[in-house]
Amino acid sequence: MQRHQIRVLPASPTFLNLILVGGHHERHDMGSLRLITYGTEPMSDELLARVNRAFPGVRLLQTFGTRLVAGRYFNADEYLDFEAVQRDQKLQAKVGVIVITQALGERLWPGQSALGKTIYLGETSVRVIGVVAGLIRPALFNGDASAQWSMAFPLRMNVSNANRYVLRAAPNDRDPASRSHHERRQRFEW
């Protein structure tokens, strides 16, 4: 990192934990690092806190495997708690920015850049600050054709309101993977 002045580190939480456990962040100059993107698996609050302490001043961004093609991701001060926003009309107006997929941008503004455009959601409006190559929704309301028309809000979810997910499997493994996942999930339901 020090020789190449690396500014962005895409990593999984497991990889970040290995860096910390091995003390690599203490033995190597990582002063050029500005952004750590993480995804592919959940990051525990405990590990997130340790990474924040180990890399002060470095922005952390959960990307779920997305690739930014225009604009930017959310800043830390733009995030709000989902439950608080649901309860408070005034907070809903503070959710002023959004990141959308390329497919949704092309659907809404064909042939134009989506950056800076406004999307109206009832009485509230949000400004597009970032465009990602793709992000499939776990709930397909209009079938496969609209699967890539996705948007992300700067909202912190908790277990009770973030219970949708995507299960990836090869086409020939989908039925066995789905059955196995369903069986495991039943063991954890209250």
What is the mean predicted confidence (pLDDT) over 13-22? 90
Write down the pLDDT at residue 71: 92
Write down the pLDDT at residue 188: 42
The tokens describing 16, both together, are: 């970040």
2, 38: one domain: yes
Nearest alpha-carbon partner for 79 in 66, 97, 104, 54: 97
The tokens describing 96, both together, are: 């002023």
What is the mean predicted confidence (pLDDT) over 27-35? 86
Write down the pLDDT at residue 129: 95
Rounded distance between C-alpha atoms, residue 147 and residue 12, angstroms? 25
Among 23, 39, 65, identify where a domain stops: 65
In a domain, 20, yes or no: yes
List the CATH number of the domain containing 33. 3.40.50.980
In a domain, 135, yes or no: yes
51, 131: one domain: no
Give the HSE-up count for residue 32: Cα atoms under 13 Å, Cβ half-sphere.
Answer: 11
Count of the separate structural domains present in the chain: 2
CA distances (Å), origin 34, targets 50, 61, 64: 17, 11, 19
State the residue range of the domain holding 18.
Answer: 1-65
Task: Kindly report, residue by residue over 138-157, the tens digit of the pLDDT.
Answer: 555 666 667 778 888 888 77
161, 72: one domain: yes
75, 157: one domain: yes
Rounded distance between C-alpha atoms, residue 81 and residue 97, angstroms? 15
72, 40: one domain: no
Write down the pLDDT at residue 14: 85
Task: Kindly report, residue by residue over 41-99, the tens digit of the pLDDT.
Answer: 667 778 888 999 999 988 887 776 677 899 988 877 788 888 888 888 788 778 889 99
Among 11, 40, 65, identify where a domain stops: 65
Write down the pLDDT at residue 118: 95
Task: Kindly report, residue by residue over 93-143, the tens digit of the pLDDT.
Answer: 788 899 999 999 999 999 999 999 999 988 889 999 999 988 766 555 666
In a domain, 171, yes or no: no
CA 9 to chain centre: 15
pTM, full prediction: 0.57
In a domain, 175, yes or no: no
Q: Other CB atoms closer than 10 Å to residue 131's CB: what's the count?
A: 21
Among 25, 41, 65, identify where a domain stops: 65
